[in-house]
Amino acid sequence: MMYQISSVLTPDKVAQFQQHLAQASWVDGRVTVGSQGTQVKNNQQIDTRTPLYDALQAAVLKALHSHPLFFAAALPRTISTPLFNRYQQGETYGFHIDGAVRNNGQSGWMRTDLSATLFLSEPESYDGGELVINDTYGQHKVKLAAGDLVLYLASSLYCVTPVTRGVRTATFLWIQSMVRDDKQRAMLFELDRTLQSLKARHGESEEVLSLLNLDHNLLRGWTEV
**CATH number of the domain to which 113 belongs:** 2.60.120.620
The answer to whether residues 122 and 145 touch, using CB atoms and an 8 Å cutoff, is: yes
State whether 154 and 209 are in the same domain.
no
Query: Of how many residues is the chain composed?
Result: 225
State whether 147 and 166 are in the same domain.
yes
Closest CA to 158 of 7, 31, 29, 41: 41
Amino acid at 56: L
Give CA separation, 79 vs 50, 62, 82, in Å: 21, 11, 8
State whether 164 and 192 are in the same domain.
no
State whether 144 and 203 are in the same domain.
no
The residues with which 41 forms a beta bridge, in sequence order, are: 93
Mean pLDDT, contiguous 10-residue spans, the chain (225 residues): 95 97 94 75 95 97 97 97 96 94 90 98 98 92 98 96 98 98 96 93 89 95 93
State whether 90 and 76 are in the same domain.
yes
State whether 24 and 133 are in the same domain.
yes
User: E strand or H helix at 201, and its extent?
Assistant: helix 182-202
State whether 166 and 187 are in the same domain.
no
Supply the range of the domain harboring residue 190: 182-222
Q: What's residue 38's pLDDT?
A: 77
Q: What's residue 204's pLDDT?
A: 87
State whether 187 and 173 are in the same domain.
no
**CA–CA gap between residue 223 and residue 225 (Å, rounded):** 6
The answer to whether residues 95 and 157 touch, using CB atoms and an 8 Å cutoff, is: yes
Enter the pTM of the model.
0.93
Domain boundary among 140, 159, 177: 177
- State whether residue 70 is helix, strand or coil: helix
The domain total for the chain is: 2
Q: What's residue 105's pLDDT?
A: 84
